[in-house]
Structure 1
Amino acid sequence: MKIVDIEVIELRVPGWTGETFDGSYDNCLVLVHTDEGLTGVAEVDSVPSVIRAIVDARRSHTHAMGLKEAIVGADPSDVEGLWERMYDLTSYYGRRGAVIHAISAVDIALWDLRGKVQNKSVGALLGTRQRDRVLAYGTVYPLGETTDEVRSNIDRGLKLGLKAIKIVADPFWRDDIDKTASLIRAARDHVGPDIRLMVDAATAWAKAEEGLPLMPIFKEHDFFWVEAPLPIDDLDGHARFQGFGVPIGGGDLGLTTHYEYEAAFERGKIDIAQPDVTMAGGITELRRIADLARRLGKRVVTHGYKSNITIAANLAFLSRHWMDEPCEYSTSQSPLRWHLTRESFPIGLDGRIAVPEAPGLGVSLDPETIAKYRVA
């Protein structure tokens, strides 16, 4: 079997302007086609036109070429070897950032293809199953500015069946600590002690001094983690959030490869790596990040806010992960979130999602959705 093409498909919901921090209203599918008619499927949370350029780029020299030229004609079964080949042959202009995003998508598609060839799920390829259902967590934003709004907005997550809810920090939190404390208290009182609560700062704080006063509030109300407290490159600032008794997560806003996560662990002192499998290096690199985390006594909780393709990849990984960590379950209203695949992943009464066991990722693309939202 040989790879004969890498196809990039850009999707976008009409009217979407990109003026809010939500990547679920456009998408970039990457398909790896073979000479035997099998195709591996993936998506990437990046800029679709940039991914297309990286895949299709004409060779400049031996270490600066597009991914298509790098691997078309190769045997797709050597997934890890092809990752190294793509990394090496793009190293002059890559190694981090968008090139790793593109490599991530191709890598995920190759894992999907490997599973289809071997008639095994990606989870089965990754090792011994530790669990067949994974806890889902979803984001509620905005939380609201009154206790009534907090209860109403939290109910949106509870109605989905979520037993773990991540709220997003608003910029006004840093200016009115007392009001913020009352809103956080209202959220905890409304869900009770058995629902996990987390908070995503998501760039709301520009410097540590803006977020540190809130940490005792999160500790008091038993928050499971604080995510992305600062801009991603402020590793010294991240380290200042230690000592409050609430785990600090990071990486979802753009860290790629285990090299960057090593710095985040060691200098930034983060407790939880939150790699997006479609950005950080694909399934191959996600395993390396997990190996690094385990050696350092850290945790891994995958990020993902695209479609069921990303959820399927994360479920495959988390079902084999040594810790029972939750899977991010996008609550976006985008039709691309819910209708891009024929399969769905409903949340059960236990707040968990069943791990797909069909060959590959266990998802198939919906042609009508692709036709409706495809960018010419």
Structure 2
Amino acid sequence: MKILKIEAMGIRCPEPNDNNNIRHTMLVRVETEDGTVGWGEGIAMWPEAVKAVIAVVEGLSPLLIGKDALDTEANWQAMKDHVWWYGEGGIASFAISALDMALWDIKGKLLGVPLYRLLGGKQRDRLPACASIHVKHETHEENADEIAAYMDEGFQSVKVGFGKKGKARLGQEAAYDLAYVKAVRDRIGPDKGFIVDVGNSVKWDVGHAIRMTRAFEEYGVWWIEEPFHPSNIEAHRELRAATTMLIATGEREWTVDGYHRLLKTGIVDVVGIDPARVEGITAFHKIIQLVGAEKRKFNAHAWSTAITSAASLHLSISSPHCLLLELKPMPNPMQNELVKEPITQKDGWVYPLEAPGLGIEVDEEAVRKVRFM
């Protein structure tokens, strides 16, 4: 089935899970000659980056128009070959991610099967649901109460982002951070999962990171995520040697080769992978094989629209190396309005999507309402 049309667009809307900040991303709509439509996403984040990714998608489109939509590997490789001069990560990777994701959506629809079946089938019947939030309230009690409410809804774990916009000051003072972690653990009890994402805006040195991680271990934190800039391999290595907590990093990597290099450093236990960043479904699936070969685990970074969440769910359910699935717990436009049936947890679990392709129906009228370019 030949590819007929490709349209790239930028969308933006407020995100309640990010203190109502305006979030930007870009989508592609790919249509075949029989009218089958596939959707993909590249999480470019900032308006200027969205504009640049749209330009790259438009540059890549002539490589795909007229090609067989079922030839996902060949189409992915053609895009990779084209961007050889400027494409080891960055804007080109976002563009390839969106296009590749849309083509896999089409492939599943044309073959009449959900994406996970094209990736080898289910390895799990369901995944534990994790509420993924940015900490924003002024007091520890308010923040702990918010998390406890999500646990009451059924979520089995929570991942909290430090250093985010809002009234919280996490990531700046040791005593304050430890008091927060204690307040949350006391509030949710000993059995619920608890993950700390240190985040890009927090700048810890190695000594401080070791002290904080050791202290977090006493409160049953599952893993520490992005404690340093991803390129600082030595800092990660020192932290891993000095603590027993799992270390997660990788969500800011771009390519299969980049993940191969990261895994070979031996510093990462839980590999963060974003299908809207790492050159799509094709690359993500290749990276999963590398993760398995190194006896590590992975976690899909799915913090954007329902399109990326759907891709993440299929990839995660098709592998034995995934621990959980992150969901935004507060209703929001990019998850709840962009598709006809939002992806949600049920009694603490996320179940596979059974409709063909990505398994979601994008509401094109809702997309038009939030489109800005």
Instruction: Please show how residues 39-118 of structure 1 align to structure 2 within 5 Å.
Output: 39-46=37-44, 47-56=49-58, 66-118=59-111
CA apart distance, 1:368: 2.7
Match of 1:356 in 2: 353
SS class of match (1:153): helix
TM-score, reference length from structure 2: 0.90
Instruction: Please show how residues 1-376 of structure 1 align to structure 2 within 5 Å.
Output: 1-13=1-13, 25-46=23-44, 47-56=49-58, 66-142=59-135, 144=137, 146-170=139-163, 173=170, 175-203=172-200, 204-243=202-241, 244-252=243-251, 254-267=252-265, 269-331=267-329, 334-349=332-347, 351-376=348-373
How many residue pairs were aligned?
A: 361
Whole-angstrom CA distance in 2 between matches of 1:97 and 1:160: 37
What do the CA deviations read for 1:125-176 (whole angstroms, capped 9, x no partner)?
1113122322121223326554422322323432543111011224955553
Whole-angstrom CA distance in 2 between matches of 1:209 and 1:24: 35
SS class of match (1:166): strand
SS class of match (2:215): helix
Change beyond 3 A, Cα 1:55–1:179: closer
Gaps in structure 2 of 5+ consecutive residues: none
Whole-angstrom CA distance in 2 between matches of 1:72 and 1:120: 24
CA apart distance, 1:333: 5.4
SS class of match (1:301): strand
Change beyond 3 A, Cα 1:23–1:93: farther
Runs in 1 of length 4+ with deviation above 6 angstroms? Answer: 20-24
Whole-angstrom CA distance in 2 between matches of 1:31 and 1:159: 38
What do you get for the CA RMSD once the two structures are aligned?
A: 2.2
Change beyond 3 A, Cα 1:22–1:2: farther
Whole-angstrom CA distance in 2 between matches of 1:278 and 1:140: 19
Whole-angstrom CA distance in 2 between matches of 1:162 and 1:345: 14
Change beyond 3 A, Cα 1:175–1:121: closer
CA apart distance, 1:206: 4.6
Whole-angstrom CA distance in 1 between matches of 2:96 and 2:24: 19
Whole-angstrom CA distance in 1 between matches of 2:64 and 2:21: 28
Does the 8 A contact of 1:24 with 1:334 survive in 2? Answer: no
TM-score, reference length from structure 1: 0.89
Change beyond 3 A, Cα 1:89–1:195: same
Whole-angstrom CA distance in 1 between matches of 2:195 and 2:302: 15
Change beyond 3 A, Cα 1:343–1:264: same
What do the CA deviations read for 1:67-106 (whole angstroms, capped 9, x no partner)?
1122211111110111111100111121222201111111
Whole-angstrom CA distance in 1 between matches of 2:191 and 2:151: 12
Identity of aligned residues (%): 27
What do the CA deviations read for 1:24-67 (whole angstroms, capped 9, x no partner)?
732311112111111111122113212111011xxxxxxxxx21
CA apart distance, 1:195: 0.8
SS class of match (1:44): strand
Whole-angstrom CA distance in 2 between matches of 1:343 and 1:36: 25
What do the CA deviations read for 1:170-196 (whole angstroms, capped 9, x no partner)?
495555323322221121111112210
